[in-house]
Structure 1
Amino acid sequence: MDAPMSRYDKVDLAYEFFKEKESLSESFTIKQLADATGWTEGACKTYPSKRWHQYIEKDGAQYTTSGISYLSKAEFRAVHSQKLQQVADHSTKGILLHKAKEFALLAVSVYNNPYTEFKTYGYIVNIIIAYTSLFHAIFEKKGTAYFYLNDNGTPKVIDGEEKAWELSTCASEYWQSGASPELANLNFLIGLRNKIEHRSLPAIDLAVAGECQSALSNFESLLVEEFGDEHALTANLAFSMQLTRISEQSQLDALKQMQKDNYKVVREYMETYRNDLNDEVVESQKYRVRAFLVPKLGNHAKSADMAVEFINVNALTEEELKDYEQAVAFIKGVENPFRLKPKRIVELVLKKIKGFNMPLHTKCWKYYEARPKGIDKAFKGEYASYMEGFDGYLYSQNWVKFLISELQNEDKMKAVKQQAQ
Structure 2
Amino acid sequence: MEAARSEAILAVRLFNDPIEPRSFEAFVVHMHVAWLYLLHARFARDNVEIRYRQRDNPRRFVKVDGEHKRWELAKCVEERWTDPDDPVRRNLEFFIALRNKIEHRHDHADRQLAEAVGGKAQALLLNFEQELTSSFGDQHSLATVLRFPVFIGSFTPEGEQALITLRDHLPASLKKFIAEYDSGVPDSVNADNRFELRLNVVMQTSKASDALAIQFMRWDDMSDEEKAAAELLGKRGKTIVREQKRRVIGHGLMKPGEAQEKVAAAVPFVFNSYHFLQSWRIKKIRPPKADPHPERTDEKYCVYDALNRSYGYTQAWVDWLIKNCSTEDGFRTTTGRDPKPKP
| Aligned-pair CA distance for 1:363 | 4.3
Give CA deviations for 1:24-46 in whole Å, capped at 9, x if unaligned: xxxxxxxxxxxxxxxxxxxxxxx
2:88 corresponds to:
182
Instruction: Give the Cα–Cα distance (whole angstroms) in 2 for the partners of residues 210 and 243 of structure 1.
Output: 17
Tell me the amino acid that sits aligned with residue 384 of structure 1. W
Tell me the amino acid that sits aligned with residue 46 of structure 2. K
1:325 corresponds to:
242
Cα pair distance change 1:215/1:252, threshold 3 Å: closer
2:115 corresponds to 1:213: no
The answer to whether the 8 A contact 1:338-1:396 is kept is no
Superposition pairs of residues 124-203 of structure 1, within 5 angstroms:
124-151=28-55, 152-153=57-58, 154-197=60-103, 198-200=105-107, 201=109, 202-203=111-112
2:140 corresponds to:
231
**Gaps spanning 5+ residues in structure 1: where?**
1-96, 318-322, 327-336, 344-358, 373-377, 388-392, 398-416
Cα pair distance change 1:126/1:185, threshold 3 Å: same
2:15 corresponds to:
111
Instruction: Give the Cα–Cα distance (whole angstroms) in 1 for the partners of residues 42 and 178 of structure 2.
Output: 30
Give CA deviations for 1:95-125 in whole Å, capped at 9, x if unaligned: xx11000001001101111212332211000
Count of aligned residue pairs for this structure pair: 258
| Aligned-pair CA distance for 1:229 | 1.1
TM-score normalised by L of structure 1: 0.54
Tell me the amino acid that sits aligned with residue 187 of structure 2. D
The answer to whether the 8 A contact 1:108-1:123 is kept is yes
Q: Which has the higher contact order (CA 8 A, sep 6+)?
A: 2
The answer to whether the 8 A contact 1:188-1:273 is kept is yes
2:24 corresponds to 1:120: yes
Instruction: Give the Cα–Cα distance (whole angstroms) in 2 for the partners of residues 324 and 367 of structure 1.
Output: 33
**Gaps spanning 5+ residues in structure 2: where?**
220-225, 231-239, 244-261, 270-276, 288-300, 304-310, 325-335, 337-343
Instruction: Give the Cα–Cα distance (whole angstroms) in 2 for the partners of residues 121 and 342 of structure 1.
Output: 22
Instruction: Give the Cα–Cα distance (whole angstroms) in 1 for the partners of residues 138 and 124 of structure 2.
Output: 18
Q: Which moved more, 1:138-147 or 1:241-250?
A: 241-250
Give CA deviations for 1:29-65 in whole Å, capped at 9, x if unaligned: xxxxxxxxxxxxxxxxxxxxxxxxxxxxxxxxxxxxx
2:155 corresponds to 1:250: no
Instruction: Give the Cα–Cα distance (whole angstroms) in 2 for the partners of residues 136 and 214 of structure 1.
Output: 20
| Aligned-pair CA distance for 1:222 | 0.5
Give CA deviations for 1:317-362 in whole Å, capped at 9, x if unaligned: 9xxxxx9639xxxxxxxxxx9799699xxxxxxxxxxxxxxx9867
Cα pair distance change 1:288/1:121, threshold 3 Å: same
Please tell me whether Structure 1 or Structure 2 has the larger radius of gyration of its CA atoms.
1
Superposition pairs of residues 58-69 of structure 1, within 5 angstroms:
none
The answer to whether the 8 A contact 2:51-2:61 is kept is yes
RMSD: 3.7
Tell me the amino acid that sits aligned with residue 107 of structure 1. A
The answer to whether the 8 A contact 1:338-1:395 is kept is yes
| Aligned-pair CA distance for 1:310 | 3.3
SS of 1:293's equivalent in the other structure is: strand
Instruction: Give the Cα–Cα distance (whole angstroms) in 2 for the partners of residues 278 and 367 of structure 1.
Output: 23
2:228 corresponds to:
315
Tell me the amino acid that sits aligned with residue 101 of structure 1. R
SS of 1:247's equivalent in the other structure is: helix
TM-score normalised by L of structure 2: 0.65
Superposition pairs of residues 15-414 of structure 1, within 5 angstroms:
97-151=1-55, 152-153=57-58, 154-197=60-103, 198-200=105-107, 201=109, 202-245=111-154, 247-258=159-170, 263-295=171-203, 303-310=209-216, 315-316=228-229, 325=242, 363-365=281-283, 368=286, 380-381=313-314, 384-385=317-318, 394-395=321-322
Q: Which moved more, 1:192-201 or 1:245-254?
A: 245-254
The answer to whether the 8 A contact 2:267-2:322 is kept is yes
